Amino acid sequence: MIVAPSLAMGILIRLVITAVSLWISTLVISGIELNTDSLSKKIITLLVVAAIFGIVNAVLRPIIKVVGCGLYVLTLGLIALIVNGLLFMLTSWIAGKLDLPFHVDGFWPSAVLGALLVGVVSWLLNMVVPDGSDD
């Protein structure tokens, strides 16, 4: 399968933006930890965790929205905060199984606030940084 250069560049830019968002969340929220001293290991870990987070969101979020659409309507979308927190915890669990030094310690407030912060920072960075898909 051949991937168009602009598509590949867009995916790479979004991966880096998510990694930067994850890094900011480790600095701001005390329950989100990146336990390594090596700069290269931190960068690799953040990129891998960003890829895991992207895959988890791409696969599970649509399924959850379809199955739980009634809860989304009933709570006016606020259930999305809990869903995002759970997906963030799942990302941390998968990272742990892959022996990556990334850990989210607890659901409240670490996972929910972490997912919210990563989402907001990613959105802001995506507004500022072009990803090449608008050609």
Phi, psi of 90, rounded to the nearest 5 degrees: -60, -40
Domain edges within the chain: 44-127
Q: Which one, of 6, 11, 20, lies nearest residue 125 by Cα?
A: 20
Phi, psi of 106, rounded to the nearest 5 degrees: 95, 155
> How is residue 21 written in tokens?
């968002």
pTM of the model: 0.91
**Per-residue pLDDT of the chain in tens (135 residues, 90 and over written 9):** 565 668 888 899 999 999 999 999 999 999 999 999 999 999 999 999 999 999 999 999 999 999 999 999 999 999 999 999 999 999 999 999 999 999 999 998 999 999 999 999 999 998 998 766 554
Distance separating alpha carbons of residues 74 and 88, to the nearest angstrom: 23
Q: Which helix (H) or strand (E) holds 104?
A: strand 102-104
In the chain, how long is the greatest CA-to-CA distance?
A: 46
C-alpha dihedral (120, 71, 63, 18), degrees to nearest 10? 10
